[in-house]
Structure 1
Amino acid sequence: MNSINIQYHKTKIGELILGSFDDRLCLLDFRYRKMRTTVDNRIKMGLKADFSEHSDATIIKAKEQVDEYLCGNRTIFDIPLLMVGTEFQKSVWNALVKIPYGATSTYLRLAKNIENAKAVRAVASANGANAIAFAIPCHRIIESNGDLGGYGGGVTVKKRLLKLEQSHLDGQEKGTPSPLLQSV
């Protein structure tokens, strides 16, 4: 059976789990989120692989980029990503990647961006199923009324991430996302 290398990484916003498969990041998520088992099982089944606690160059680079991001020194992740999910989920995640650092969007706008304005609830569900936090910035999606909505790392962490991005935009140009994407 194939292996997905995983490592845990403690940060100031919580403990993360990172996973790589075939030199691409397929998992960057909160270790103790509510949907942990569901997300992990989707990735394992999609890649026909199991988790193995080993490090590799992709995980090392991802840890560095997460730390840089959380310190306000990185606006774009440039690690090759491997999205594992349905075609609909991947369309939502691809749309998320286009939301610039420091900006927010809504579930409705995201649904319109994928040309499916009536799929707001499905878009919200796909957003919540995102397994690659920060690099696929699901924390940048808020409700149409301005409320923050949910987040895998918790609403308090979502609020901190949005404030972090806003505070580091002063004097900087907003980043244009350009990750190297591949999906399964």
Structure 2
Amino acid sequence: MLITDTAQADGYYRALLERAEEYNGIFFVGVRTTGVFCIASCRARKPKRENVEFHSSFKSALDAGFRPCKICRPTENAHAAPPAVAQVMAWLRADPQSRITDRWLRQNGIRPEPLRRWFVQHHGMSFHAFQRMLRINAALQELKRGRSATQVAFDSGYDSLSGFAYTYKKLTGSAPSDPARLILLHRFTTPLGPMLACATEQGICLLEFADRRMLETEFKDLQRLLKARIIAGENAHTRQVEREIGEYFAGSRQQFDVALETPGSAFQRSVWQSLRTLDYGSTHSYQSLAERIGRPSAVRAVAAANGANRIAIIVPCHRVLGKDGALTGYGGGLARKQWLLEHERGPSDSTFRLEA
């Protein structure tokens, strides 16, 4: 959304002049004289006030015709964890059972207030709630290895088994004696903005851009279909998908090896599997996709299954265009769809041609 409030825009301009990192991701500044947009901490020479406009999201800036600045890389770095947050995340990954308090943060030179704001903005929960989820996920793994609930409770920092059991059941929906099935939710950044990956023990079950409008509905559907609850956490699948998606954006990967779990109807799964056979850099119509699965008259149903895909990029629904070759709806937004297609085509060929 374009920021039209003059006082708010003036405040953002002051933050731009000061290169205030805490405003990264809060606003995106479009520079009319160069046609690029930046984040607050950009090191480039600062434009005059009359030559800029402010947007509340990088998608709004893209839609307004601005292109990402090559210096500050706003679509990637606006949502990347600041150094202090990255340091805390590294500590938590090394020891997920630890309890990091505000006092401990201050002793280590980290201000708790910006840290808390970042977690609420980017994870939708407090920092302490995020820690609790990590501890419960670590506890679940210990329980599955055969350790007793009492041992796990005290190793997780709880003073009593009852306190551990209460928190465990509140987050997972079951008692420690009956280990729950969980869906782990992990956030990471890409050149097109932050993505969310959900994974079970079997594989990745969701991969979406964080601003997808239907995300809450997809979360509810996943929990219902898999009979599991979503909590923050990581496993081997989330780490692998972050690495492979990074390689895809770097141009060094065209096929993905990470395991997937894709609950849905038999028809939906057949469409999703067919999508995975589409060649890197190719584009296809819904009609050709229907013919691939032996259902040439089921074009509308194929389109609906394509729209129900929860795993972006790896199940490449972005390679499907309208019958006339025009860009059609995409959950991550048409600007991203076009970017992905041009990325796969390469700089020498940005023409989209439908293939059989």
The answer, yes or no, to whether TM exceeds 0.5 is: yes
1:23 to partner: Cα distance? 3.8
Alignment coverage as a number of residue pairs = 170
Residue range with higher mean Cα deviation, 67-76 or 30-39: 30-39
RMSD: 1.6
1:168 to partner: Cα distance? 7.7
Aligned to 1:4: 183
Q: Is the 8 A contact 2:289 2:302 kept in 1?
A: yes
> Is 1:96–2:292 an aligned residue pair?
no
CA distance in 2 between partners of 1:38 and 1:20 (Å): 17
Residue type at the aligned position of 1:39: E
Q: Which has the higher helix share?
A: 2
Aligned to 2:284: 105
Residue range with higher mean Cα deviation, 132-141 or 113-122: 113-122
* Secondary structure at the counterpart of residue 213 of structure 2: coil
Q: Which has the higher strand share?
A: 1
TM-score in terms of structure 1 length:
0.87
CA distance in 1 between partners of 2:264 and 2:194 (Å): 23
Residue type at the aligned position of 2:291: K
1:38 to partner: Cα distance? 2.2
Aligned to 2:336: 157
Aligned to 1:46: 225
1:28 to partner: Cα distance? 0.9
CA distance in 1 between partners of 2:293 and 2:220 (Å): 26
Aligned to 1:179: none
Runs of 4+ in 1 over 3 A off after TM superposition: none
Structure 2 runs not aligned, ≥5 long: 1-179, 350-356
Aligned to 2:310: 131
Residue type at the aligned position of 2:199: S
CA distance in 2 between partners of 1:85 and 1:151 (Å): 19
TM-score in terms of structure 2 length:
0.46
Residue type at the aligned position of 1:28: L
1:37 to partner: Cα distance? 2.0
Aligned to 2:324: 145
Deviations along 1:134-171, one digit per CA (max 9) or x if unpaired, are: 1111100011101011111101100000011111899x
Q: Is the 8 A contact 1:42 1:84 kept in 2?
A: no
* Secondary structure at the counterpart of residue 261 of structure 2: strand
